Structure 1
């Protein structure tokens, strides 16, 4: 698989806060790559750096196939505000004027699923989900070879999200290279060929969803929060989080933890053991802390 964009040792700080630290990743052609991480992990900052909207402090970016230019790249940012008093059809015509080759009016309607009435509606008056699919369709007007999507399905309902991923399926079949961020585990598991996990400004994982589920699995042991003395003993060896009224102990060695629980006379009827992949752990923790 050919590497089309290569990032090496990218770092970025805002004032004294380091947002990205020594990021090295490869984006491969004709692949769908998911960039995941908790809120504030630096995903949008990394996207902005890749597309040239933000400077980085150190490192190198190699655009090996010249995809990072406006004629070959389509971008869907996390949030777009449409100007007042411009109709959907007028936006389409404006975007078509930017390219030598572009999708047709009919193709645009297929992507948005808009009626003739909606095509003549002011874009700013559409619902949040309709504005999102409009923004996505506009990113596709120039038939991009590289598509970068930041939280693409935010504000979409279930039906619209399903339609969106059907469009992505067709783009994948046409060998479009795609990089996207998402807070939905089912989207990552279904669509991604490659998953990169960003946490605390660093790439913590870079693998296929299949390999992650097979090789990067954990057990979560949940115990009541009253066992504070036990937690004080365990926190130096295991990753532990307080979620609602229970502690979650993350481990690859359940028997070792259970031996310690026995020593502290923990009632085993009060504990719960779950087997989760690293993806599931990350997404469940993100939601419990207020992630999308």
Structure 2
């Protein structure tokens, strides 16, 4: 019996970004240097497959520093941590390695600079997300106000409308953030808005690829974790750009085959913390049901690389 034809549009770029790649390498190099166990505060990146693979090699994932013994190294996740966390590690004389993505660190430095200049910050981001907790935790309470939606812009209470700056989480929807930035500018004309929002190159590029792909897709699958902000944004971008059926799947076993009956074109992409092996797994699952032709949708080329911290490049 011949299989029905299916064109799979595969987004490029997709999957791992430089910050995620670096964070995973940091855990692997720490295990090589100091042996197991190495403790990691919070999931190093938001992907169960990645976390499970590192756990199998000897990484122990915890939520707080007080769960870590003082005689073993601890690594801080790619999302960044409040200032109090490394300070506590120093106080306890622990070996600690910061795997914060350099583009998140750039936002931390921006916030510190604005604070030094006497400005209060408005941060656009998702409440409770580790990156937001880490960024807001760079400064004393009350110095960073969080807005999540356009509605929040109307109600946020600031100290002095003439002395404000805007910063953002790095994994937001480019379009939503531009709207919120415009609303902040309208309410607070003096606010210092970055020339380019703090949304990172990888988030921007992956959203752009989905926008190009969506109009020609009967369905889009985003490979990623439900707690991954940038993956969830890709689903939203797909829906808005013309593909009504845009869904998040962690693995091939989550594909809803009944909902996909009769499709002729499928878009596939992945959030910045999803490894390529999971994308291949999803495409292979479709090969069992369809005669698949894969077409690459290339919208950007990424050549970004970040160095690992010096402590890991030195001999033990």
Q: Output the TM-score relative to the length of structure 1.
A: 0.28
Structure with the largest fraction of strand: 1
Provide TM-score, normalisation by structure 2.
0.26
Higher normalized contact order (CA 8 Å, seq sep 6+, divided by chain length) = 2
